[in-house]
Amino acid sequence: MSNTTDPRGLADEHVDVEVVASELVFAGKVWDVRSDTVRYGDGEIVRQYVDHTGAVAIVAVDDEGRMLLIQQYRHPIRRRDWEIPAGLLDIAGEDPATAARRELAEEADLEASRWEPLVSIYTTPGGNDEIVHVFLARGLSATTTAFAREEEERDIRVEWIAIRDVVDAVLEGRIRNGILTAGALAAAERLRREA
C-alpha cells in the first residue's frame, strides 16, 4: 500500500448522499435519535444515530500554565470524570465563540480576555453527528456574579493542574474524557509551538 495523500492537504472529505428516508426514533430532552436510509455505492444502508445540537468546550489556561479541570458525575459511565468546561450549542443563532464565553462563565465563574479556536472534533462519528468546538481561553479573571448550579453541576469540583500533568494523566489512562483529551493535547502543542 502506498501513501499518495499529500499531508498538507489531509482533510476529512464531505460526501453528498441521498437520504431516502429519515425517521425520528426518539425525541429526547437534550438530543434525538434518528434512523436514516441512504443510497451509498450500489445500494442502500440504514444507520441510526444521535442527532446532536453540537457543543463547545474551553481549555482555560492561567498565567502559570495551569489548565482548569472540573469533575462532575456522568451517569452513562457511572463516574465523576475530569472534564473541561463545556456546553451545548442549544441557543438558536448563537455562534460557538459566544457560547464558549457563556459556558466558561456559567461553569467556572470565569471570563477571558483572549480567545482563540483550538480544535473542532466529531466525538463519535459512527454513532452521532456531534461536533465540539474547543477554544483556548487566556487572560482569565473572575466574573462579577457567580452562577447557580443544578443537578450534576451542584457538586462540581474545580482544580487547576499543570498542562504537562494533565497530558501525563491522559497518556497513562487515568483520565479518559475525549473532549478533555483532545483539548489538552492540542493546547499543549499550541503552547509548545508558541514557546
pLDDT tens across the length of the chain (195 residues)? 556 778 888 888 999 999 999 999 999 988 899 999 999 989 999 999 999 999 999 999 999 999 999 999 888 899 999 999 999 999 989 999 999 999 999 989 999 999 999 999 999 999 999 999 999 999 999 998 776 656 556 678 899 999 999 999 999 999 999 999 999 999 999 999 998
Q: Of 144, 12, 152, 133, whose CA–CA distance to 81 is shortest?
A: 152
Q: Is 159 a catalytic residue?
A: no
Distance CA(173)–CA(195), nearest Å, equals 27
3-state secondary structure of 155: helix
pTM: 0.90
Q: Catalytic one among 23, 94, 116, 152?
A: 152
